[in-house]
Structure formats: structure tokens, C-alpha cells
Amino acid sequence: MQKMKNVEQILPAVRSLLAKELIQSHNVTKADVSKILGISPAAVTQYTTNKRGNYADELGKNREVRPVIASLAEHFSNKKKKEGEMRRNMTIIETSENILAIINNQGIKDKEKKMDPNTRILQDRVEAELREARTSLTMANKIEDGFGKLLFKGIASDSIRHAEIVSQVIRDQETVGSFRLDKQSKRYLKQMIQEEENASEQLMVKLVKTKHPAVRALLQSIDQDEMKHKKMLRSLKKYLEA
């Protein structure tokens, strides 16, 4: 499979696999698949007959992608889960981003048969992050509680981002250029630093009192992210004077 650059390239294949999985494994009618995916009945037919969704067959043979599709189909086939069309579309897009990260990472792995020990360690970390992303996405699709869904989707999103960062380090560690900021970027950075300083002074866990474990975990993640952002931006302060 060619290297995919963005989620739009893989989205039709994901819809095609999802439509087939709903029909074949969960006995969902084409009419209901149409409603679930927010597409016309004619489009469902095109997806299930391979007239739309390039790379669907190849993608469906991928052993790491199959369980992701199966989990999403199980989620959508559960009639107790009443989600709006926009939320369903976002879930499909998020899943497609996860799959995109998986297959692009496999491309890196295939090209780098001979890895030095440090690169191997980094590659193992990428694979671990992607495994956590897949598991978290599965949890998000299975859990009923809305805040629980947000929690596990957030973990999946973070894991995908971590995998992307480490993957780029593997690809570009020999060609990294110098970091520079123009005057406008310096002004933006200064403004961001100030905003993060203000945000980190107000802890969400203290502002919002709750006994809900997922809500509390999400609020803690916001506070931790603000502290993390502040540290990241502070590390760039020296470039304000450069």
C-alpha cells in the first residue's frame, strides 16, 4: 500500500470496510448502514461492491487494522448507543486517523530492516504507543458513559500523537534543521506563554467538584496539559531574544 499522507485518502476505504463488517458480521441492513454512516443507500452499495473505497481490500487484510474496524462496527451496531450523525462521523474520522498512523508506521518499519540499537528502541516505542491507541479506541467504543468515552479517546489521541512524534524523529534525526522564529511568530509565542501562565493558575480539579472518576481524570488531564504546555513554551523562551 502506498504511503498515505492524510485521512481523506483512507476515509473511503474505512467506510467501505465498516459497511461490509456491519452487514456481514452484525446483520445490519443496507438501509440502516446508510443511516449509521450518514451516506445514501446507493453509496452503501458502491462501498460493498468495491466501486468506492480504494485500498479497502488491501487494508482489510492488515492484521492490525482488522480489529480496529471490528471494534468500530460493534460499537455502531449497538442500538442502545444513540449518537448523532456528527458524532458518528467524528468517530469514523478519529478511527481513520488511528489506522493512518498504523499503516504509515508499518511503512517505516518495512523500510528500515537494518536498524541501529537506538532506532530499534524508538521503533519499539512507536509500536507500543500504537497498541495503546488501538486498545484505548476499543475501550472508547465499548464503554457507555460519555465522559468515559472522552477519557479513552483522549488517551488514544495522545498515543497517536506520541507515535507520530517518535516516527518523525526516526525519519528526520539526521536532517533536522535549525529552529528559527520570525518577528510575528515571536509575538505569538510571547502571547501563548502569557495565556498558559494564566490558565495554569486556575486548576480545574479545584474549580469543579465531582465524584465521577472519568470526569475527575479528564479535569486532571486538562490541568496537567496546561502545566506541560507551560513547560514546553518556556523551553522556547530563549528564541524570543534570538
The string of pLDDT tens digits covering residues 183-220 is 898 889 889 888 888 877 788 888 898 999 999 999 99
- Same domain? For 29 and 140 the reply is yes
* Distance, CA of 56 to CA of 48 (rounded, Å): 10
In this structure, are residues 15 and 37 in contact, taking their beta carbons and an 8 Å threshold?
yes
The residue among 172, 204, 225 that closes a domain is: 172
Residue 1 within a domain: no
- Same domain? For 44 and 73 the reply is yes
Q: What pLDDT does 160 receive? A: 82
- Same domain? For 41 and 159 the reply is yes
- Same domain? For 89 and 204 the reply is no
Angle at 99 between CA 37 and CA 152, to 5 degrees: 80
Q: Which domain holds residue 41?
A: 7-172
- Same domain? For 84 and 162 the reply is yes
- Same domain? For 207 and 156 the reply is no
Residue 116 within a domain: yes
End-to-end CA distance of the chain: 44
- Same domain? For 122 and 20 the reply is yes
Torsion of CA 96, 147, 214, 198, to 10 degrees: 90
- Same domain? For 115 and 191 the reply is no
- Same domain? For 162 and 187 the reply is no
In this structure, are residues 181 and 189 in contact, taking their beta carbons and an 8 Å threshold?
yes
Our count of domains for the chain comes to 2
- Same domain? For 206 and 126 the reply is no
Low-confidence ranges of the chain (pLDDT < 70): 1-5, 79-82, 106-115, 173-177, 242
Q: What pLDDT does 7 receive? A: 80
- If we measure between CA atoms, which residue out of 221, 216, 219, 75 comes closest to residue 143? 75
Verdict on whether the full-model pTM lies above 0.75 = no
Alpha helical stretches, state H, 2-116: 7-26, 30-37, 41-48, 56-60, 66-77, 85-111
